[in-house]
């Protein structure tokens, strides 16, 4: 049986908010089975904000959540790390509204979770398994989920920039591929947009320490971590935003030129389209034999 998991112990880190520039302490604490991922603010209020699409708020350049007096911002990189490492239940405490940006990737959150350790709980994990396609398109921006035996992501981007005319990648997402290929990919921005962001009171904590900045012909940072770091980061964002459905997804996510607004609109649509998925307790369902005996497929025996 595939069991739910939580962090083994409380663990904390300190960083700054990308948009606010404020210092913030983030702590991850163990939580009971079926608790899900919930945010608490240690500076205000007692309300918890569950990480689900029902609590979406303020999707601009990052994904925010709110419930009653409590809001939290820029949750997507942390959520991507939690769901990809397989943490189902956790309390996320923040000392101010924004999740720290760290180095602009999810790698520091993966490190934090691994440092705490992850413990199985005695309750089966539930997955949202896609059985019919679900899709949204807005002009040339598209996103869809189609049935697949595994969670896979295909993402493509194209921008009016010499380094970013076209990047595309397909990856089956497991803890291993996420940690190796996706978590280290950093957020990016265009130099021409930085001034506009600052004038609007955004990206006040932004620097070359926590974002790739694209000048007219190249990047201002010393080096990229991957040649196609940009599209890998879009995959990271999409995983974090899709986590707001509240279950690990079994299906193939296909997105073209999407962003937080479309990712989160799509996550809400997925939950609404109840005919297009089922909740299951194992990634690969047992095969039903003609005489009614259920057996696991051979591959799961090898893997187990
Ligand atoms: Zn991002």
Residues within 5 Å of ion ligand 1 by Cβ? 187, 237
pLDDT tens, 182-198?
999 999 999 988 888 88
Length of the chain measured in residues: 304
Whole-angstrom distance, CA of residue 226 vs CA of residue 204 = 26
Residue 187 alpha carbon to ligand 1 centre in Å? 5
Give the neighbor-by-neighbor strand order of the sheet with 37-41: 11-16, 23-30, 90-94, 37-41, 48-50
| Residue 263 falls in the annotated catalytic set | no
Whole-angstrom distance, CA of residue 65 vs CA of residue 31 = 20
What's residue 300's pLDDT? 40
Residue 284 alpha carbon to ligand 1 centre in Å? 30
Return phi, psi of residue 23, to 5°: -70, 140
pLDDT tens, 98-125?
999 999 999 999 999 999 999 999 999 9
Q: What is the pTM of this model?
A: 0.92
Whole-angstrom distance, CA of residue 153 vs CA of residue 83 = 14
Give me the DSSP letters along 242-254.
HGGGSS-EESEEE
Residue 83 alpha carbon to ligand 1 centre in Å? 15
Per-residue HEC secondary structure of 84-115 comes to HHCCCEEEEEECCCECCCCCCCCHHHHHHHHH
Q: What is the largest CA-CA distance in the chain?
A: 69
CA distances from 261 to 59, 138, 246 (A): 6, 11, 18
pLDDT-derived band of residue 301, with 50, 70 and 90 as boundaries?
very low
Residue 76 alpha carbon to ligand 1 centre in Å? 7
Residue 130 alpha carbon to ligand 1 centre in Å? 25
Name the 3-class secondary structure at 263.
helix
Catalytic residue among 77, 233, 260, 263: 260
pLDDT tens, 33-91?
999 999 999 999 778 999 999 999 976 678 899 988 889 999 999 999 999 999 999 99
């Amino acid at each position: 049986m595939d069991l739910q998991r939580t962090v083994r112990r409380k663990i904390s880190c300190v960083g700054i908010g990308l948009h606010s520039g404020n210092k913030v302490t983030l702590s991850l604490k163990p939580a009971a089975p079926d608790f899900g991922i919930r945010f608490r603010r240690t500076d205000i209020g007692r309300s918890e904000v569950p990480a689900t699409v029902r609590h979406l708020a303020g999707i601009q350049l990052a994904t925010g959540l709110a419930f009653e007096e409590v809001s939290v911002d820029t949750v997507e990189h942390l959520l991507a790390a939690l769901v990809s490492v397989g943490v189902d239940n956790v309390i996320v405490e923040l000392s101010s509204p924004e999740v720290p940006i760290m180095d602009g990737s999810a790698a520091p959150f993966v490190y934090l979770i691994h440092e705490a350790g992850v413990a199985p709980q005695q309750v089966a994990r539930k997955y949202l398994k896609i059985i019919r396609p679900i899709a949204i398109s807005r002009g040339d921006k598209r996103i869809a989920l189609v049935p697949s035996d595994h969670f896979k992501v295909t993402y493509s981007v194209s921008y009016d920039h010499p380094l970013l005319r076209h990047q595309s990648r397909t990856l089956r997402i497991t803890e291993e591929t996420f940690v190796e290929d996706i978590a280290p990919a950093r957020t990016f921005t265009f130099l021409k947009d930085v001034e506009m962001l600052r004038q609007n009171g955004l990206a006040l904590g932004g620097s070359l320490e926590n974002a790739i900045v694209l000048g007219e012909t190249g990047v201002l940072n010393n080096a990229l971590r991957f040649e196609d770091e940009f599209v890998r980061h879009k995959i990271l964002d999409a995983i974090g935003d899709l986590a707001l459905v509240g279950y690990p997804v079994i299906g193939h996510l296909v997105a073209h030129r999407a962003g937080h607004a479309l990712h989160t609109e799509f996550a809400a649509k997925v939950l609404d389209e109840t005919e297009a998925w089922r909740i299951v307790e194992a990634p690969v369902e047992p095969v039903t034999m003609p005489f009614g005996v259920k057996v696991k497929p051979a591959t799961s025996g090898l893997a187990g």
